[in-house]
Homo-oligomer: A and B are copies of this chain.
Amino acid sequence: MPGIGPRTAQRLALHLLRQPEEQIRSFADALLAARTEVGHCQTCHHLSAEPTCEICRNPERANGQICVVADSRDLLALERTREFSGHYHVLGGLISPMDGIGPDLLQISSLVKRVAANNTEEVILALTPSVEGDTTSLYVARLLKPFTRVSRIAYGLPVGSELEYADDVTLSRALEGRRSME
């Protein structure tokens, strides 16, 4: 399992062996239930125990905005900020020819169908600032442009950082992405 080396694994195993059998049984049941019951939302492909996830079911979140993320972890990070109140779309990864991941393996065509069928005012691409993220952003933006306004989150200096210690690429992006002060 990720982040668990041989020593931690041994400590966890010995701890489990010391617990009452009843507790281990309910733990095993919970694991199995999680695996069998949690699937993906039919609309946005976020993790969900129901066919449609809580966010997609919430009528207050239908504000015409769809935020596109690579996976459910990114969605949860954005939810923590409480800054975004629209819907999401989880691609399930990023386009990466080196790893054999083409657009067909991602939830891109379902996104285009969704945007074309609904009254989507804006699609916000929230993908990581990397070669794969940029490639995916450009690809998705080109497909969506006939149907809606497309924007992407800002790349630049993180809050609390020092200009002096920023890497050159980030600094270049921050200069290039400068905004007019209203």
Q: Contact at B137–A181, with CB atoms within 8 Å? A: yes
Q: In the bound complex, what is the Cα–Cα distance between A167 and B77 (angstroms)? A: 9
Q: In the bound complex, what is the Cα–Cα distance between A181 and B149 (angstroms)? A: 8
Q: In the bound complex, what is the Cα–Cα distance between A4 and B170 (angstroms)? A: 29
Given A81-B168, A181-B125, A181-B137, A175 contacting B160 (CB threshold 8 A): no
Which residues from B are CB-within-8-Å of A81? Answer: 168, 171-172, 175
Q: In the bound complex, what is the Cα–Cα distance between A152 and B83 (angstroms)? A: 22
The residues of A with any CB-CB pair to B shorter than 8 Å are 69-70, 73-74, 76-78, 80-81, 83-84, 124-130, 137-138, 141, 145, 149-181
29 contacting pairs across A/B (C-beta < 8 A): A70-B163, A77-B164, A77-B165, A78-B163, A81-B175, A83-B176, A84-B175, A124-B175, A124-B178, A127-B163, A128-B157, A128-B163, A129-B158, A137-B181, A138-B181, A149-B180, A151-B178, A152-B178, A152-B181, A153-B174, A153-B177, A154-B179, A156-B177, A158-B158, A158-B161, A158-B167, A159-B169, A177-B179, A179-B179
Given contacts A128-B162, A151-B178, 5 further A-B contacts (CB under 8 A): A77-B171, A80-B168, A126-B175, A129-B159, A155-B159
